[in-house]
Amino acid sequence: MIMMHPQIEDEEIIERYVLNRLAAEERKAFEEHFFGCDDCFLKVQDTERFVAGVRDAARRGLLAEEVQRRTGGLGTSRWLVPALGASASAALALAVLNAWLYFVRMPGMRQQLTQSGVELRAQQQARAALEDQLASRIEAEANLPLVMLQATRDAQTSPNEVDLPPGAKHLVLWIEVPATKSERFHLQLYTADNRSIETLDNLERNSYGALAVSLPVEALQPGDYRITLTGQERTPASLVGEYRLKIRKP
């Protein structure tokens, strides 16, 4: 049986261990845990010191002296002894409760609050990054560069060419789709060394019967590219068209 921190806290394992109230199996499992856990090891030591101090005070009569002082020296009549015993027991119980809160519950609560703070900051940072990303995508852009792709059947055919002006953020590809039974399409963009750098799925024809695709310019370096367009409904996918593209930047 492996003990975890939630079980140790919920079942008050540390207090029961110090007071020798654990079953043999529980005691063995907890010892296997806390000998390798600095946090639990320190809590056990602190709890043992506190309990030892309370027991020593009770053994030397310090708790009884405190009760005597607070009662104003009324003596120890037979009717008062049970009252003093109950008061001392209540004081001891309160002291043990305070120690348990200080050494066990409060560190756990602080750890939970710290963890919650870390998670909250991470969520805030992720949200801010997403908002920045969405803002950059929503921002209007004038004079978008556009290239109308024509299928290339062999390497001797001249590639489609486009010049990307300074400040451009997106390149629009316009593809006239040949007759095919496919309704949705898959587009793959490759570099000259056949490395895939962009993938788009579920493309559908617009009202002109063509596909319009926007690519981020920051991912496109000057050079030659290969584009494949395949139907998406069938397995294996059928090739609809292959295109060569040459990008130039001033």
Q: Which regions of the chain are under pLDDT 50?
A: 67, 70-84, 86
Same domain, yes or no: 78 and 179: no
**Hey, what are 163's tokens?**
């010049």
Q: Residue 166: give its domain's CATH number.
A: 2.60.40.10
Distance between CA 4 and CA 29 in Å, rounded?
10
- Supply the DSSP symbol for 145: -
- Write out pLDDT tens, residues 204-249: 988 888 899 989 888 889 999 999 999 887 767 788 889 999 999 8
**139: three-class secondary structure by DSSP:** coil
- How many CA atoms lie within 13 Å of 71's alpha carbon, on the beta-carbon side? 18
Same domain, yes or no: 18 and 133: yes
Q: Find the domain containing 225 and state its range.
A: 146-248
Last residue of a domain, one of 111, 137, 163: 137
Largest CA distance in the chain: 116
Identify the H or E element spanning 242.
strand 239-248
pLDDT at 116: 67
Q: How many structural domains does the chain have?
A: 2
Same domain, yes or no: 91 and 129: yes
Same domain, yes or no: 132 and 161: no
**Hey, what are 96's tokens?**
């043990």
Same domain, yes or no: 221 and 128: no
Task: Evaluate the omega torsion of the peptide bond into residue 236 and state whether it is cis, within 30 degrees of 0.
Answer: yes
Angle of helix 38-59 relative to helix 80-100, nearest 10 degrees, comes to 160
Block residue for tokens 């962009």: 198
pLDDT at 182: 84
Enter the pTM of the model.
Answer: 0.44
Identify the H or E element spanning 205.
none
Distance between CA 145 and CA 165 in Å, rounded?
8
